[in-house]
Structure 1
């Protein structure tokens, strides 16, 4: 609740100088309507997934999978699911491209959406760093994308993206704790195969009540992203009945 004043900045600069002889170190200070960055506001993470190194820019205060070792297990699990699948992939809530980049090699083309500007910026950086050429990421919410797919609205952000050119038979969703709204659930239910990544078992249960009307659960996994807490990450694979 206190502003970052000149005294704070002076002390942080002195601490950064003291530690920089041994470490590559960055500082970020936050207060009300204030952000001070000394150095970078991101880290670069390198994950080895099924023998392939993937590079991800992780920006401060942006959504990401926090546990690198468990994230590798999640990505390898998702790759295993996608090996026998064909055609194209649609991903909603893609963040910085964590899943879409790792899964791009399993599909002809991948289309992904994300609402956060900083996450989309990181996703574009990660696409270039990993030399992925068959992945497009657009800045849209799941609700907006549903409206676009249903022909209810047109968006300038979709300029140059021909939605009809995609043959997406698989959809991956990794929604926030609130889960998906009903219209998005309806959209997701149109796909042959569904990969649902969830950080909230309660909203996952609610959404599965909707999705299992048309699909069967084929595989289910639990990933302990948050050791020593009650929180849990889940992965569900569904296929049309």
Structure 2
């Protein structure tokens, strides 16, 4: 067993600017065939930027410790005593939690994984995952631990989830002078780099402002009102990360998401942000197209008059596989596309088709995961010949 973090030699804040430029150049080279505008590069904080982390808990006799493995080689176990890419709160809780459970055989026994979820606003949630059923004795000890740590704990084992207080954190993001409130569910998807998420939301709001300015000054505008002239369709909306931030930049927002847990969180976020122009529907992209065409009706769209919407802009934030062929055809039907991608290669594939009808007006890199090869990309496209 090695006494070091296997990622430590990759995390060098002094070289961060240099490493980020390498990523930026890779992105410029990959998309050069589209002749995009100048790349906007959004830098992360060099350390303590990650708001969630998970660790194996390794047992050596009566002693346990956080463990990670050499990438690609799980035969080498490394003890982790600190994690500089994680938030300061995660680093603090790592120490406090381990010190507390180390002498407690009931909490320590068969505990094999610990997950931390934190926020920029100072909230946290700890999930303890076991290879044993969790009973009343465990609950009593875990509740005492929760009281000492001051943050909620969730216990998990096979086919079992025990929520002692709550299974979510409450986040408050600062975007363009606005405070946006988000409930983030344990086990659900959230952007791991909160400060970068704030930059990404601000970028999307700026894109929406340009789109609406163009619409207000185009032939589609019926008056000189400053009110947003059209509605936003958002696909793959998760817990409404973009929906909440863009609500005041469009007349109305209709967002779709297939995950029941994410939709439930999004409904809470709508209420917490006091929004009356956002609707979240639990539909897949394919189901929404069927509803929009009148091919099928869905109880989940009860009370929503799709014919009353004027969708000129669509926002997509798909998984790493990108948009499938049918979804690409669907988004081509809108004048403006805001595309957030976690995989530049599948984005490039999608643009091969999208750029037949649209041209790239905005091009951005968001460094969600410093010191890795991962690149988050934002692209704004507008129709070459608006309808």
User: TM-score, normalized by length of structure 2?
Assistant: 0.59
Larger radius of gyration: 2
What is residue 179 of structure 1 aligned with on the other side?
322
Of 121-130 and 227-236, the range deviating more from structure 2: 227-236
1:229 maps onto 2:372 in alignment: yes
Which residue of 268, 277, 296 corresponds with 1:125?
A: 268
Unaligned runs of 5+ in 2: 1-129, 213-229
Structure 1 residue 10: deviation in Å?
Answer: 4.5
Paired residue total: 237
Q: Distance in 2 between matches of 1:32 and 1:211?
A: 44
Which residue of 177, 190, 203 corresponds with 2:346?
A: 203
* CA separation of 1:105 and 1:32: change in aligned 2, threshold 3 A: same
Q: RMSD of aligned C-alpha atoms?
A: 1.5
Of 31-40 and 217-226, the range deviating more from structure 2: 31-40
Q: Distance in 1 between matches of 2:347 and 2:340?
A: 9
Unaligned runs of 5+ in 1: none
Q: Distance in 1 between matches of 2:368 and 2:190?
A: 11
User: TM-score, normalized by length of structure 1?
Assistant: 0.93
1:102 maps onto 2:245 in alignment: yes
What is residue 16 of structure 1 aligned with on the other side?
146
Of 148-157 and 108-117, the range deviating more from structure 2: 148-157
**Residues 146 and 183 in structure 1, CA contact (< 8 A), matched pair in contact too:** no
What is residue 145 of structure 1 aligned with on the other side?
288
Structure 1 residue 8: deviation in Å?
Answer: 4.3
Counterpart secondary structure, 2:210: coil
**Residues 291 and 298 in structure 2, CA contact (< 8 A), matched pair in contact too:** yes
* CA separation of 1:5 and 1:125: change in aligned 2, threshold 3 A: closer
**Residues 362 and 379 in structure 2, CA contact (< 8 A), matched pair in contact too:** yes
Which residue of 346, 352, 360 corresponds with 1:217?
A: 360
Structure 1 residue 197: deviation in Å?
Answer: 0.6
